[in-house]
Amino acid sequence: MTSTPSIAVVLGTRPEIIKCAPIVHECERRDYPYAVVHTGQHYSDELDSVFFEELDLPEPDYDLGVGSRPHGRQTGTLIAQIEPILEDERPDAVLVQGDTNSALAGSIAACKLDTQLGHVEAGLRSFDRDMPEELNRILADHASDYLFAPTTESERLLQNEGIPDERIHVTGNTVVDAVQRHADIAAEESDVLDELGISGFRYAVLTAHRAENVDDPDRFQSILDGVGRFAADRGVRCIYPVHPRAEKRIAEFDLSVPEGIELVDALSYLDFLRLEDEALVVFTDSGGVQEETCILGTRCVTVRDSTERPETLSVGANILVGTDAEDIASGAAEMLDRPVDWACPFGNGTAAANILDAVSADVLAEVA
């Protein structure tokens, strides 16, 4: 090792691009050598490139283009492709983020080599082992040398699993870094409200893409019905930037989309951030959206049976309602009665700096 650590960042989905962007920016600010390995796990290369552009990121050093495959085949393919890249790059630390197959594959490839592995957003737990994401995050945590926990709650969960304190670093969440950097830009540059014909705080937003929701016709229909009921009761439109997988399931299951829900194509990062920021309420099954709405001061209704972001519930920014239509509508009505005065539990926007500080401290210790 030299006194300046070299970093490899493995990412593959749009939430990972958003949350790893502050780390790349911090590497550039410090003049640390780094390489970005983009697995191409998400479904739209074109929109991924828009995210890189909007987040002011350089093109990835490696673009694997794995695409959509069954979990085991996708993960195995990625391990085989990532390993020789790490052997060539020989980074001091490999950073993976979150709970995707890309994060798991990067973790397995790194921990088999002579390099340190850091898991960004470590310690999140839904306690639902039927979710593939839950297994991915547990395996990544227990393989890692650095566990970058976003909150003291996630630190506690890692300690309860027997992970030594010296491997755990409470850093805050890099999503705060990203939102703080880009929210004002989105407000100035995004025309999405005009393009959709909506005005601030007179619309709702829906995101639903998780397999346990959209692959189950009864659950998916119930979500649509509950959101539609709320939209009708409040006299507002609900904008649903629909994931291609979910759009396919709507057609395949012949689901009825209530009149108040408007399906639109997937949005760029700045457009979606603006949409979240001025929404009356956001319905979601996304962990990242739960965080972003909490940071932005937008009320959130989570259409899942569990969440690995309990901090959003504790501060009052979010309510967990499941997928029953009546519970969704009544939960949203309850959220509208809550004041928007919570404190963000995910840090102050210095997570990327804290992460690189921890890696740098070990590098300096080894060369001292």
Domain spans in the chain, listed from the N-terminal domain onward: 7-172+350-367, 181-336
Question: 293-298 long-range contacts, Cβ below 8 Å, gap at least 24?
Answer: 293/317, 293/318, 294/318, 294/342, 294/344, 294/345, 294/346, 295/175, 295/176, 295/179, 295/180, 295/344, 295/346, 296/179, 296/183, 297/340, 297/342, 298/340
Spell out the alpha helix ranges (H) of 90-173. Answer: 101-111, 132-143, 152-160
| pLDDT on residue 368 | 46
**Residues facing 7 on adjacent strands:** 34, 93
Identify how many contiguous H helices and E strands the chain contains and give both numbers. 16, 13
The domain defined by 7-172+350-367 folds into: Rossmann fold (3.40.50)
Q: Which of 25, 119, 182, 209 is catalytic?
A: 209
**Which structure tokens are listed for 24?**
């790349």
What is the model's pTM?
0.96
* Sign of CA pseudo-dihedral 10, 16, 19, 25: positive
pLDDT one-digit tens code per residue, 24-35:
999 999 999 999
Residue 209 bears catalytic tag: yes
Q: Judge whether residue 365 has pLDDT over 70.
A: no
| pLDDT on residue 83 | 98
Q: Do domains 7-172+350-367 and 181-336 have the same CATH topology?
A: yes
**Which structure tokens are listed for 251?**
């057609």
Q: Which residues contact 363 (CB under 8 A, 6 or more apart)?
A: 1, 2, 3, 4, 5, 92
Centre a 10 Å sphere on the Cβ of residue 259 and count the other Cβ atoms it contains: 10
The domain defined by 181-336 folds into: Rossmann fold (3.40.50)
pLDDT one-digit tens code per residue, 98-149:
999 999 999 999 999 989 999 999 999 999 999 999 999 999 999 999 999 9
Closest CA to 261 of 288, 284, 281, 241: 241
